[in-house]
């Protein structure tokens, strides 16, 4: 495996890359969609 050169990039670029890697599987995207949907409905119920 090659070494990473993350220090050559900005903190912002590295942060975006970490998020992209974490979301890099369709199942993770599907889980987030469900959580967003359910979370929105949950918050809506208790807002009054």
> Rounded to whole angstroms, how far apart are CA atoms 9 and 29?
26
Phi/psi at 5 (5° precision): -125, 50
* pLDDT tens string 2-46: 567 878 889 999 888 888 888 888 888 888 788 888 776 555 566
User: What integer pLDDT is reported at residue 7 of this predicted model?
Assistant: 83
The pTM score is: 0.48
User: What integer pLDDT is reported at residue 12 of this predicted model?
Assistant: 92
DSSP 47: H
User: What integer pLDDT is reported at residue 48 of this predicted model?
Assistant: 53
């Amino acid at each position: 495996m090659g070494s990473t050169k993350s220090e050559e990039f900005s903190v912002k670029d590295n942060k975006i890359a970490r998020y992209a890697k974490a979301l890099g599987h369709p199942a993770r995207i599907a889980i987030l969609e469900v959580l967003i949907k359910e979370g929105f409905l949950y918050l809506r119920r208790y807002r009054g």
